[in-house]
């Protein structure tokens, strides 16, 4: 059954190889049909809670042009009225993603940024490509491998609520760019040359894409016949903070309604005494002397 936690009990060797090689990983069928339906129903009931997103500085070229802004954002999903907030709260520490995050970042990680929902309708313009390694360690966006363990800084999880077919546009990456040793040139940022180095990711509703923020990524103009919808989470190691917008110092009162694991995801950055989420969804408090 799609979305069955038993199918996602661990990050297997094939997935580790692909993520290390590419800087991104597609996890098929992570969400069950009822979860997809609940998320889409919540969005349909809150269409008044949207805003357009336009890239800072504009596109500056024609390769990514469209006739409307690339994304429409929903906001505030975690505090929407019940029942609409619940499917988004359930994604915070979804059991099927826990083994991936524990493998990619080690035990102990947190949500960075606010959660986001991106939608695109036919004709939406693309998004310039951004994010790449320069061969040097970066404090928040990095990828490294040492002594049999991979470690990532900021990672992005996109849960897809609609299909993305070949040629539709949307999320596109440069595989392997998370380990690049040279800075990204502008002709790459604006998709002006060497299209053969880009990889467009085709997806079905319920699939998850995880990519390292250091992996060069952007979006091609949306040419699909239907709306593109995905829920965007960014996770980062427990001791780091990349962007504002989530709870830097203390949790608000409404988080008392969440599970222990969901609250742990929203905690501000710190190490000692932190609740860590195990692969089975249970939380344990990190002892002072436990290693990273």
Compute, in degrees rounded to 10, the torsion defined by CA atoms 90, 96, 102, 105. -80
Residue spans per domain, the chain: 5-285
From CA 31, how far away is CA 5, in angstroms rounded?
A: 10
Q: Which range scores top for mean pLDDT: 51-60, 152-161, 276-285?
A: 152-161
Angstrom distance (rounded) from CA 79 to CA 255: 9
pLDDT value of position 55:
61
How many whole angstroms separate alpha carbon 231 and alpha carbon 260?
Answer: 22
| Residue range 169-183: mean pLDDT, rounded | 93
Which CATH architecture does the domain made up of 5-285 adopt? Answer: Sandwich (2.60)
**Residues 269-287 as b or e (16 or more Cβ within 10 Å = b):** eeeeebbbbebeeebeebe
* pTM, rounded to two decimals: 0.92
pLDDT (0 to 100) of residue 61: 61
Question: Which residues on adjacent β-strands are paired with residue 160?
Answer: 230
């Amino acid at each position: 059954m799609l979305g069955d936690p038993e199918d996602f009990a661990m990050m297997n060797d094939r997935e580790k190889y692909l993520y290390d090689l590419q800087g991104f990983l597609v996890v098929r069928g992570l969400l069950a049909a009822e979860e997809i339906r609940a998320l889409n129903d919540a969005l349909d009931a809150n269409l008044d809670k949207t805003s357009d997103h336009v890239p800072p500085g504009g596109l500056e070229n024609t390769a990514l042009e469209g006739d409307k802004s690339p994304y429409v954002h929903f906001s505030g999903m975690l505090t929407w009225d019940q029942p609409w907030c619940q499917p988004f709260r359930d994604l915070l520490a979804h059991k099927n993603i826990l083994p991936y995050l524990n493998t990619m970042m080690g035990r102990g990680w947190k949500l960075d940024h606010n959660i986001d929902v991106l939608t695109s309708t036919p004709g939406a313009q693309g998004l310039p490509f951004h994010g790449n390694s320069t061969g040097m360690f970066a404090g928040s966006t990095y990828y490294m491998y040492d002594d049999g363990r991979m470690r990532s800084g900021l990672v992005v999880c996109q849960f897809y609520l609609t299909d993305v077919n070949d040629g539709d546009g949307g999320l596109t990456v440069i595989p392997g760019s998370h380990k690049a040793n040279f800075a990204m040139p502008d002709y790459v940022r604006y998709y002006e040359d060497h299209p053969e180095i880009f990889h467009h990711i085709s997806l079905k509703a319920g699939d998850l894409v995880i990519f390292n923020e250091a992996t060069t990524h952007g979006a091609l103009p949306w040419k699909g016949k239907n709306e593109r919808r995905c829920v965007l989470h960014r996770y980062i190691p427990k001791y780091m903070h990349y962007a504002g917008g989530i709870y830097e110092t203390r949790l608000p009162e409404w988080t008392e309604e969440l599970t222990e694991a969901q609250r742990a995801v929203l905690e501000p950055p710190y190490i000692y005494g932190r609740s860590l989420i195990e692969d089975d969804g249970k939380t344990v408090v990190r002892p002072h002397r436990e290693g990273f």
